[in-house]
């Protein structure tokens, strides 16, 4: 995070021409640097200019600007946008923020007519508009990445629909599941994140411009027109709320926190599975790094870093909530502090998603190791209990019988499926040859054959439903972006 340069205590001074009129002395140089936001809000330049072009277009439509004035302003703004894009601009801290930097440039470029652009608006409604435009743009990028990650998970799940691994509770082997089923569990988490993001977008997508400083403006503005030009759903309802509301930023960061939590959980599993203790997956070399001292190491840095980055996103959520908690209506300078946490959240989420969406299709399942771990873990014990229940034994008694069988297996160092029929019959005489159908790992997973169950056929059916859902999402996205 940037902080002003406080090393120079000599109070050199600057005057701000945008609001210097009522001041009898120039701003202290430290204060100018302390209060400026240009170092970080310059990243809003495209949105700021887009908003200004819409505002000027509207001012012309309602008769506040002549055609010539409007054209001069818009041409000037477009030229400035190109200049900035080419890196051809020197940002001025004395001009505080992106709004005044652009405006000063405009006046420099087109002369006094540039001074008319700020008619009927304030930086308060301007910044609220800029951030909403920015967050909306980034939501669309993040949404596409979420789709890509889900597709990767779904296709890998299809590939691994028959792969058997231990399912865990308490990190102890519990019951066999298919790896495809596990991957689809991850996919469900990300699907909920994507839903939350779409919901957040609805509340981002309203236009605050027109609220002016806080009370609205005396000019005959047309907020519906501006909303349409900027592709917002509608203008906001209340001018005081418009300039002070940052709920959307908090909601976005809450979405990011949940997504971060999910990615962190997946990361944790990948880190475990990539270890030689589990040895369930091989992560591609290009997503790992080595150790400078231990030549044998291949470290799962990418999932580790994603897990670690979750912390800063949670931190930003707490920052934003705290930032807003005691603010009286309407705009307060506190709000300037919304940007760095929000921007860092966006950058972090995009980085983590890109890493995951790139990495997931390249995860290689070590099927034999997974199978072997499921076999070692007595993970079909519940199946034996269910088998006994089918033969008329009460579940509690069945539990007891199986417990004894497992203890015997442990002593013999053999899995339940490796015990002979006569050995199993020591514990219950209802056990017959057909018990081996349920004691096999394949039989165990295949038997959980209902919607939401781990059977390979159910995994394939779930994959098909997920593919359909993703297809619908993508065609909705296409119509949205081409509209």
What is the smallest separation between the CB atom of 335 and ligand ARG, expressed in angstroms?
A: 5
97 binding ligand ARG? (CB under 6 A): yes
Q: Which stretch binds ligand ARG (CB under 6 A): 65-73, 150-158, 332-340, 356-364?
A: 332-340
- Main-chain dihedrals φ then ψ at residue 363, nearest 5 degrees: -70, 130
Q: Which stretch binds ligand ARG (CB under 6 A): 269-277, 330-338, 356-364, 435-443?
A: 330-338
What is the smallest separation between the CB atom of 37 and ligand ARG, expressed in angstroms?
A: 4
Question: Binding residue for ligand ARG (CB under 6 A) from 163, 205, 242, 336?
Answer: 336
Please indicate whether residue 18 is annotated as part of the active site.
no
Q: What contacts 284, CB < 8 A, 6 or more positions away?
A: 359, 362, 363, 364
Segment holding 14, helix H or strand E: strand 13-14
What is the smallest separation between the CB atom of 210 and ligand ARG, expressed in angstroms?
A: 16
Pick out residues in 122-141 that bind ligand ARG (CB under 6 A): 123-124, 127
Angle at 408 between CA 404 and CA 414, to 5 degrees: 130
What is the smallest separation between the CB atom of 8 and ligand ARG, expressed in angstroms?
A: 23
246 binding ligand ARG? (CB under 6 A): no
Segment holding 234, helix H or strand E: strand 234-235
Q: Which is nearer to ligand ARG, 194 or 336 (CB)?
A: 336
SS3 23: coil
Pair 267, 304: CB distance under 8 Å = yes
Please indicate whether residue 170 is annotated as part of the active site.
yes
Task: Return the exposure string of 104-131: e unless at least 16 CB atoms fall within 10 Å of the residue's CB, then b.
Answer: bbbbeebeebbebbbebbbbbbbbbbbb
Q: Which is nearer to ligand ARG, 41 or 383 (CB)?
A: 41
Strand partners, 165: 177
Per-residue binding string, ligand ARG, 19-38, x by CB under 6 A, is ------------------x-
Q: Give how many residues touch ligand ARG by CB under 6 A.
A: 10
Q: What contacts 96, CB < 8 A, 6 or more positions away?
A: 16, 32, 35, 36, 37, 38
Q: Which is nearer to ligand ARG, 207 or 393 (CB)?
A: 207
Angle at 353 between CA 87 and CA 465, to 5 degrees: 135
320 binding ligand ARG? (CB under 6 A): no
Q: Which two tokens stand for residue 61?
A: 């439509």
Angle at 273 between CA 267 and CA 277, to 5 degrees: 135
Q: Which stretch binds ligand ARG (CB under 6 A): 120-128, 254-262, 376-384, 415-423?
A: 120-128
242 binding ligand ARG? (CB under 6 A): no
Pair 4, 36: CB distance under 8 Å = yes
Binding site for ligand ARG (CB under 6 A): 37, 41, 97, 123-124, 127, 331, 333, 335-336
The residues assigned a catalytic role are: 170, 291
């Amino acid at each position: 995070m940037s902080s002003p340069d406080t090393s120079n205590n000599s109070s050199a001074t600057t005057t701000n021409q945008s609001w210097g009129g009522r001041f009898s002395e120039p701003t202290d140089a430290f204060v100018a640097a302390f209060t400026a936001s240009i170092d970080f809000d310059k990243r809003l330049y495209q949105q700021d200019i887009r908003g200004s072009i819409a505002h000027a277009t509207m001012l012309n439509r309602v008769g506040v600007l002549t055609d010539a004035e409007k054209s001069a302003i818009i041409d000037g703004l477009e030229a400035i946008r190109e200049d900035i894009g080419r890196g051809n601009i020197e940002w001025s801290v004395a001009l505080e923020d992106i709004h005044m930097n652009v405006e000063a440039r405009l006046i420099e470029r087109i002369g006094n007519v540039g001074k008319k652009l700020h008619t009927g608006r304030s930086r308060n409604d301007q910044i609220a508009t800029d951030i909403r435009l920015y967050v909306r743009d980034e939501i669309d990028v993040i949404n596409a990445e979420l789709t890509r990650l889900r597709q990767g998970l779904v296709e890998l799940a299809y590939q691994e629909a028959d792969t058997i691994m231990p399912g865990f509770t308490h990190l102890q082997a519990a019951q066999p599941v298919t790896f495809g089923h596990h991957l689809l569990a991850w996919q469900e988490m990300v699907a909920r994140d994507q839903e939350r993001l779409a919901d957040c977008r609805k509340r981002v997508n309203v236009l605050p411009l027109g609220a002016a400083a806080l009370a609205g403006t005396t000019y005959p503005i047309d907020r519906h027109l501006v909303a349409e030009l900027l592709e917002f759903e509608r203008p906001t309802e209340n001018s005081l709320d418009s300039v002070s509301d940052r709920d959307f930023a908090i909601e976005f960061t809450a979405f990011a926190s949940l997504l971060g939590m999910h990615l962190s959980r997946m990361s944790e599993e990948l880190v475990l599975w990539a270890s030689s203790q589990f040895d369930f997956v091989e992560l591609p070399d290009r997503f790992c790094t080595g150790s400078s001292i231990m030549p044998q190491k291949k470290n799962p840095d990418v999932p580790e870093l994603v897990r670690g980055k979750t912390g800063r996103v949670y931190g930003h959520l707490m920052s934003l909530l705290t930032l807003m908690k005691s603010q009286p209506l309407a705009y307060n300078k506190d709000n300037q502090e919304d940007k760095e946490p929000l921007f860092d959240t966006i950058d972090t989420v995009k980085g983590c998603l890109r890493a995951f969406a790139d990495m997931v299709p390249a995860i290689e399942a070590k099927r034999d190791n997974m199978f072997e771990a499921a076999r070692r873990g007595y993970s079909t014990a519940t199946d034996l209990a269910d088998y006994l229940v089918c033969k008329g034994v009460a579940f509690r008694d069945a539990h007891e019988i199986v417990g004894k069988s497992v203890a015997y297996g442990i002593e013999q160092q053999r899995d339940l499926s490796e015990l002979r029929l006569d050995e199993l019959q020591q514990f219950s005489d209802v056990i017959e040859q057909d018990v081996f159908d349920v004691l096999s790992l394949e039989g165990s997973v295949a038997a959980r054959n209902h919607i939401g169950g781990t059977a390979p056929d159910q995994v394939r059916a779930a994959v098909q439903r997920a593919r359909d859902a993703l297809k619908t999402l993508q065609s909705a996205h296409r119509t949205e972006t081409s509209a």
